[in-house]
Amino acid sequence: MSGFQEVMLATLTERRFSNADWLFERKLDGMRALSTRDRKRPELWSRNRNRLDERFPELIEALADLGGPRFTADGEIVAFDGKQTSFARLQPRIHPTGDSRIAGTGVTVHYYLFDLLSYDGHDLTRLPLRDRKRLLRAAFEFRDPLRFTTHRNTEGEAFYAEACERGWEGLIAKRAASRYRGGRSKDWLKFKCVHDQEFVVGGFTDPQGSREGFGALLVGYHDGHGTLRYAGKVGTGFNDRTLRALRERMNVLAQDQSPFADPVHEHGAHWIRPELVAQVGFTEWTTDGRLRHPRYQGERTDKPAEDVVRETI
């Protein structure tokens, strides 16, 4: 039970409910991370099997000091913008390593644990979630930057209304008796207060006026057959630094042909290999399958491009 394991993922739903057989957690707007330890130094893994130890050394130290010698735990790395967790605020910490570069970002991170997959050499994935949460709380000494993800029982609808009033991203509803299984599951459900998801970047347009880098990202998602479908262009949510950094990344991925199966009628379009993944917020999907009022929220390095699909109810 040491090393990377496939994480359990929630399924989007528009059905809000209250049920004594379910528990409800705050949906955190951060980066999913699995932590493991087998008597040696803890390891931190992204959901797409990348090691995060050097990017978040303070979390490694906390896991070493506050956890036992053998464990596998699931959680979310977050940064706060005021009282809200913010993936955009976390962005400066995604890539830097080394004490001076990390300190230079000025971004403080926390690691919220919400599940325990193994402890002291015992596989816990077959236990009910409620038992795993109870064991998790006892397995670590929770103090910053390590935090326990609390939950509420039964009253999902009232908690959802409260979450949206507070400006949270939403809730995760979890069947209290569910086992831990890697991959997408309907035992975990997403109650979203906002619309956002990951998209694959397949190209960009030329900048206009005094803008540097590029004008807009051309983004899409994979359908059920692995085909990359076009979802629209994203032209807001960038600062000058992000515009320059993304353009440098995209220059390396340049190719002649569009990666999208659909025709893209954008003036000054340039194409790239579909490897970059961006988090995008939007108000709704249009009837022709395009994003309305999309806004860039950050780059996702924790999800492979080939796994990006349109979230459906």
174 catalytic residue (yes or no): no
Beta bridge partners of 11: 189
Which pair of tokens denotes residue 229?
A: 């479908």
Q: Where are the domains of the chain?
A: 8-192, 196-307
Write b or e for each residue in 184-198: b if 16 or more Cβ atoms lie within 10 A of its Cβ, otherwise e: ebebbbbbbbebbbb
**Given a cut of 60, is residue 192 above it in pLDDT?**
yes
At 224 the pLDDT is 82
**Given a cut of 60, is residue 260 above it in pLDDT?**
yes
pLDDT digits (tens, 9 = 90+) for 23-51: 999 999 999 999 999 999 999 999 999 99
pLDDT digits (tens, 9 = 90+) for 147-161: 999 999 999 999 999
The span from the CA of 38 to the CA of 119, in Å, is 10
The span from the CA of 37 to the CA of 231, in Å, is 41
Beta bridge partners of 203: 218, 271
Average pLDDT, the chain: 95
At 1 the pLDDT is 57
The span from the CA of 65 to the CA of 42, in Å, is 10
Task: Classify residue 307 by its DSSP letter.
Answer: G
Query: What's the rounded mean pLDDT across residues 282-310?
Result: 92
**Given a cut of 60, is residue 163 above it in pLDDT?**
yes
The span from the CA of 240 to the CA of 247, in Å, is 11
Which pair of tokens denotes residue 307?
A: 């796994």
Reported confidence tier of residue 313, pLDDT bands at 50, 70, 90: low
The span from the CA of 30 to the CA of 90, in Å, is 7
At 195 the pLDDT is 87
pLDDT digits (tens, 9 = 90+) for 76-120: 999 999 999 999 899 999 999 999 999 999 999 999 999 999 999
Identify the active-site residue in 27, 133, 174, 192.
27
At 117 the pLDDT is 97
At 3 the pLDDT is 74
Query: What's the rounded mean pLDDT across residues 192-220?
Result: 94
pTM above 0.75, yes or no: yes
The span from the CA of 199 to the CA of 179, in Å, is 29
Query: What's the rounded mean pLDDT across residues 123-134?
Result: 98
Among 139, 149, 118, smallest CA distance to 66 is for 139
Query: What's the rounded mean pLDDT across residues 196-218?
Result: 95
CATH topology of domain 196-307: OB fold (Dihydrolipoamide Acetyltransferase, E2P) (2.40.50)
**Given a cut of 70, is residue 68 above it in pLDDT?**
yes
Architecture category of domain 8-192 in CATH: 2-Layer Sandwich (3.30)
